[in-house]
Homo-oligomer: A and B are copies of this chain.
């Protein structure tokens, strides 16, 4: 089903949102646990909509790369499902967590099995599964190639300095990984798993690239940009479902309520959202809200969903 909006309308909507939000640029709190994230311009903003026909409707700095951080978890999940199929879910759940994204309480109560692949513990388990049979370097290479393949863009790269900084500041992630290892939930040494994990979180992409990379989720699993089939239509729906229920940590319910689209946020200020049958959307603004999600990014998506009628919950 092609997008139901004339392209001209859509471009106008995107431009309006940019204009209406401009007075608020800089709102929220930029992540500062590593210097590389703290040094970003807090007033940066981008909104890119790529419709099923491949057209880009954009406003703001949609070609500026930023650290995708947790948004990479969507693509890791896609890779791991390709490897293991539905048996992936013996390793990680698919329920919203009801606790903060890096909580260890839930892990203890549930014997080291993470609730879903979009909290840190779950993404660490998924990374461990993607690592199987590879060296860390190979796994990182494969993930990067997958991102380039999805976006059809060979320039996508990892910010090595960000990855190094994550290693230095990642005490909580080390705790989660060792903790899961104490329940025999990881097949590889903690250092290897986290090495890969920190690298895929450190991938730098622009809004434009990110929207292109996520387009297969809006298009029944096949990228309209390249014609490549990435996953089956059923799997695309299911990944969207996990994004909707778990994509914004402990504010997933609020995002569903306000925006009504599957989405995944990252502390770099990006959000990837999917409007099934219509478009993939990437919003970026570094200032975060109290839950660690992009403040203006979410607001932009809320405005977009309302004005396009793309909410999955009804026109």
Binding site for B on A (CB under 8 A): 1, 93-99, 103-109, 115-116, 171-172, 174-179, 181-182, 190, 217-218, 220, 233-234, 236-238, 240-242, 244-246, 250-254, 256-257, 260, 262, 276-277, 306, 311-315
Contacts and interface: CB of A to CB of B under 8 A. Distances in A.
Contact of A314 (B98, B115, B237): B237
A241 B220 contact: no
Contacts of A179: 104, 171-172, 175, 179
Q: Residue among A1, A94, A98 with the most chain B CB within 10 A? A: A98
12 contacts: A97-B98, A98-B99, A104-B108, A171-B182, A172-B178, A174-B190, A218-B314, A236-B314, A241-B257, A241-B260, A262-B313, A312-B312
Q: A95, A103, A254: which has the most chain B beta carbons within 10 Å?
A: A95
B312 A276 contact: yes
A313 B252 contact: no
Given A175-B177, A244-B245, A244-B313, 19 more contacts: A94-B257, A95-B250, A95-B252, A98-B99, A105-B109, A116-B253, A171-B178, A175-B175, A217-B314, A220-B314, A233-B314, A241-B257, A245-B245, A245-B253, A245-B257, A276-B312, A276-B314, A277-B315, A312-B312
Contact of A313 (B93, B174, B237): B237
B94 A98 contact: no
Contact of A175 (B105, B106, B182, B262): B182
Contact of A96 (B98, B234, B240): B98
Contacts of A254: 94-95
A174 B105 CA distance: 16
A276 B178 CA distance: 41
A171 B181 contact: yes
Contacts of A251: 95
B106 A98 contact: yes
A261 B147 CA distance: 30
**4 cross-chain pairs, A with B, having the tightest CB-CB distances, nearest first:** A98-B98, A96-B96, A276-B314, A175-B179
A234 B302 CA distance: 12
Contacts of A94: 253-254, 257
A245 B236 CA distance: 18
Contacts of A256: 241-242, 244-245
